Chains A and B, each alone.
Chain A
Amino acid sequence: MRNYEIMFIVSPDGTEEDIDKINGQIEGVITAGGGKVDKIEKIGKRRLAYIVKKFREGAYVLFTAQADGAIVKEVERRLRVMDLVIKYLTVRMDDDMKRLDKIKAHRQKRAAHRSRARNEGGDRRQQPPPEQMVEE
Chain B
Amino acid sequence: MAIQKQYYRRKKVCKFCVERIDSINYKDVKLLSQFVPERAKIMPRRISGVCTPHQRLLSDAIKKARNIALLPFATE
Task: List the interface of chain A (C-beta within 8 A of B).
Answer: 7, 9, 46, 48-50, 52, 58, 60, 62, 87-89, 91, 96, 100, 103-104
Contacts and interface: CB of A to CB of B under 8 A. Distances in A.
A49 B22 contact: no
Interface stretch (B2-10, B43-51, B61-69): B61-69
A49 B71 contact: yes
Given A49-B71, A49-B72, A52-B69, A89 B23 contact: no
Interface in B13-55: 22-23, 26-27
Given A9-B68, A89-B68, A50 B73 contact: yes
Nearest to B71: A49
Interface of B: 22-23, 26-27, 64, 66-73
Contacts of B68: 7, 9, 60, 87-89
B67 to A, nearest CB: 5
Contact of A100 (B22, B66, B73): B22
Given A49-B69, A49-B71, 17 more contacts: A7-B27, A9-B69, A46-B70, A48-B69, A49-B70, A49-B72, A50-B69, A50-B72, A58-B69, A60-B68, A62-B27, A87-B69, A89-B64, A89-B67, A91-B26, A91-B64, A104-B22
